[in-house]
Chains A and B, each alone.
Chain A
Amino acid sequence: MRWLWVDRFTEFVSGSHAKGIKNVSLDEEVVDNYCPGFPFLPPTLIIEGMAQLGGILVAEHFLFDKRVVLAKVGRAKFYAPALNGTTLNYEVHLDAVQENGGTVTSTSRCDGEIQAEIELMFAFLEDGYLVDGPLFEPDDLKGMLRIMKFFSVAVDANGNRFPTYEKLNSPSAPRSQHAG
């Protein structure tokens, strides 16, 4: 099972914000099983979706050179359950970055109405801490970003579309001319 809690990016501006959508489907086991008889997407997985958008926003700011992990959920307010059949529109803004972490503020909207507001803090794992090397294999992360349509919408720090990142290419892989 893949742990992808955003269906696709719809906007990404380096150092500023990321937007994405999450469709809540009854076919998803968690939606159906979390609260039997009253299906909705568990709030923790909305936080996870925000963390995926936000983590990529923070990681991209450092050209995917940092080992970014979700460190703290500062504040999370949920105004309505995310019912099956709805589309959640996530929007994450980069709030602050430091040499060893970053913070984002994010919202989830459903049919234009605010559904959740969440503040997250990310930390950068120091070299050798917990595990050695990158948290993702470079090609895996690139593949994940590609299927989430990141490269179709992203604008990098220089204002360029279809950005490429050295860190997303495995050292032995031939250099791609396009998309990542």
Chain B
Amino acid sequence: MANQDFPLIFEWSQESRTGFSLPELDVPDTDIDEMFEDAYVRQDAPQLPEVSELQIMRHYTGLSKRNHGVDSGFYPLGSCTMKYNPKMNEDVARLAGFSHIHPYQPEETVQGALHLMYDLQESLVEITGMDTVTLQPAAGAHGEWTGLMMIRAFHEANGDHQRTKVIVPDSAHGTNPASATVAGFEAVTVKSDERGLVDLEDLKRVVDEQTAALMLTNPNTLGLFEEDIEEMAAIVHEAGGRLYYDGANLNAILGYARPGDMGFDVVHLNLHKTFTGPHGGGGPGSGPVGVTAELEPFLPKPILTKKDGRYKFDDDRPRSIGRVKPYYGNFGINVRAYTYIRTMGPEGLKKVSEYAVLNANYMMRRLQEAFDLPFDRHCKHEFILSGRRQKKLGVRTLDMAKRLLDFGYHPPTIYFPINVEEALMIEPTETESKETLDDFIDRMLQIAKEAEEEPETVQEAPHTTIVSRMDETQAARKPVLRHPME
């Protein structure tokens, strides 16, 4: 198969072959075409494949073999927290009482689900140190936008209509400035200093009466704890702005520090990162948002309440920013995260961060002999290397990433954060064993050596994957975004 194109499901299709088993039509068969005006009865059927069940299974099994997941091998993708996805979570989420309940069932028929949601909210309140949490946002970026809309509503309620700017560090995730724009703000950049932390002087310069919020990831995307956080919070708060916490890196500080205690007013979490909801090849995620009491009136509605042991939704929320999503959030992912939190408890969650940080520091110290370490200090759950030493030898970070594929590893995040030249961002997570880390480190050291002695081995990588490097230019210049049908 290696030298042939892997067929598309459409290429297996043969007319009149079936892969379905529909229920019987046990009601009288009527000519329903008569119900509709001719123009509304579809004439040309959508060209879906006509394949047997085994063909479908072979097709997708074949595709799965052409895909790398955490269960396939180490996945040290910085900022993505590719930890193990517990199988128990999957089983729990598939219980009929969780997977087959309808969002419009009467509340009294879903008390079990509401109990789980409420308990999850309470747990997240405690973990983040916030006053209240909503589970409605569907993913991290959705949570960012939700949080910013709440900050906007808060300022507007105070008559502060001039607060149109959201400050974002140059090292921030791309979603931060994008969410600011979508929420109707102007994104303003604050610089990092030589420590890799937010430059306080620059922050003082950009903060003013137009500041709506500062968005921050802590530890930041360089894997470093913003140790001036209290001073930063004071600068922003004194100017009337609010502090937004991007929870992408929460895996570093569970049980060690809480955004609420650092002075943050709004927090979003990525349950699919820190709390093991699987990434699913790009989703679905879940992005709950926590806020302080002053922002509570602006939460998306409805909110979940508990009274006398019964749970119900409260839709009477006049100052709410409204709904951010139909129904009540990605419940199925929330069930998985809840199962995980209950498995770990306070002791387990703290160990998660301890080991995530220990693993990252260990790798960083062992790799610094061969790679430039732009910020030489203890990191948190991830760290940044620069490939500029190898670049001088003609080997780019991209090449080294591709070479790692030959050893069965998913490469680290590359060329991010954008303020580091030839960046490699490595996040091992706590679920990897020392043996795995050691083998990965050895391979990295080998690649560094190859860059010196036989650079073409790296430059021409990967050598063992089922396909070689893709022509991305052609893909963008002449986009083919669907399979053409005959």
Answer whether A and B are interacting partners: no
